[in-house]
Amino acid sequence: MIDIKNVSKWYGTVQVLDSCSTHVENGEVVVICGPSGSGKSTLIKVVNGLEPFQKGEVFVDGVSVGAPDTDLAKLRARIGMVFQSFELFPHLSVIRNLILAQVKVLKRSEAEAVSRADKLLDRVGMLSHRDKYPGQLSGGQQQRVAIARALAMNPVAMLFDEPTSALDPEMVNEVLDVMVDLAKEGMTMMVVTHEMGFARKVADRVIFMDEGKIVEDCSKHEFFENLPARAERTRLFLSKIL
């Protein structure tokens, strides 16, 4: 589903991704962790064409992200993305947030879009809040709406960039629970998170990044159960967060 081949990226003269390669199979859940500044967000953004890169190739469902003739808007419509900060449109109600792109981009009828939106809001436990505005919701509620909004586009994969790190602690689980359900339903997911409980529960693989490099890319079992075999910096990092 997602194939990242030898991707390198520079901001000016500063290299932020260094020959990164990995792949995510259909239905696979891959958790990406690593210290701040290691390139996790950049890697995620490269996948849906939010950040250009200078070397290597990225394919999503067979489409080359870096090719000059690729329609990036079309590609992005097929990949759901949920960020750390709450990215809902503040001037639109919850239901309007969910139907806007369905109607504008996918050309669905208003009725069809509303019906899909209501189903998804129900699924994330937010149906009773459908007519509220984002400012009237807690961070955890906003993030659940953001996930529902992404799902409304029938994405082939979902990318998450630290979706719970800006939340008050008591709201983390309500968002993780939605993500766990999604993973169990077979959604293809790349998730940047330091929530290792989530990784243990549903990840198929764990990637550890440091200084723009993918240092580890192995099965969850290998990552957690065979720690002595992991690189020194991986162990050091894990010792701080586990």
Q: Which residues sit at the interface with ligand ADP, rule CB under 6 A?
A: 11, 16, 34, 36-42
Sign of CA dihedral 19, 35, 207, 234: positive
**Closest separation between CB of residue 167 and Mg ion, Å?**
15
The structure tokens listed for 163 are 């979706």
CB of 41 to Mg ion, least distance (A): 3
Q: Are strands 14-24 and 2-11 parallel, antiparallel or unpaired?
A: antiparallel
Q: Which amino acid is at 127?
A: L
Cβ proximity of 211 and 234 under 8 Å: no
Shortest spacing between CB 124 and ligand ADP, in angstroms: 25
Instruction: Give me the least distance between CB of 190 and ligand ADP, in Å please.
Output: 13
Shortest gap between Cβ of 41 and ligand ADP (angstroms)? 3
Measured at CB, which residue is nearest to Mg ion? 41
Question: Could you say which residues in the range 13-72 bind Mg ion, by CB under 5 A?
Answer: 40-41
Q: Of these partners, ligand ADP, Mg ion, none, which one is at the site of residue 37 (CB under 5 to 8 Å by kind)?
A: ligand ADP
Measured from the CB atom, the residue of 42 and 141 that comes closer to ligand ADP is 42
In the complex, minimum distance from the CB of residue 220 to Mg ion, in angstroms, rounded to a whole number: 21
**Distance, CA of 132 to CA of 22 (rounded, Å):** 40
Q: Which does 134 bind (CB under 5 to 8 A by kind): Mg ion, ligand ADP, none?
A: none
Give the number of other Cβ atoms within 10 Å of residue 150's Cβ: 22
* Residue 193 interacting with Mg ion (CB under 5 A): no
In 93-212 the beta strands, taken as DSSP E runs, fall at 157-161, 189-192, 205-210
Distance CA 51, CA 44 (A): 9
Nearer to ligand ADP, 50 or 180 (CB): 50
Q: What does 163 bind: Mg ion, ligand ADP, none (CB cut-off 5 to 8 Å by kind)?
A: none
Q: Tell me whether residue 16 or residue 150 sits nearer to Mg ion (CB atom).
A: 16
Phi and psi (nearest 5°) for 214?
-85, 105
Q: How far, CA to CA in Å, does 58 sit from each of 2, 7, 21, 82, 230?
A: 7, 8, 9, 20, 27
Number of residues binding to Mg ion, judged by CB under 5 A: 2
* Residues in touch with Mg ion (CB under 5 A): 40-41
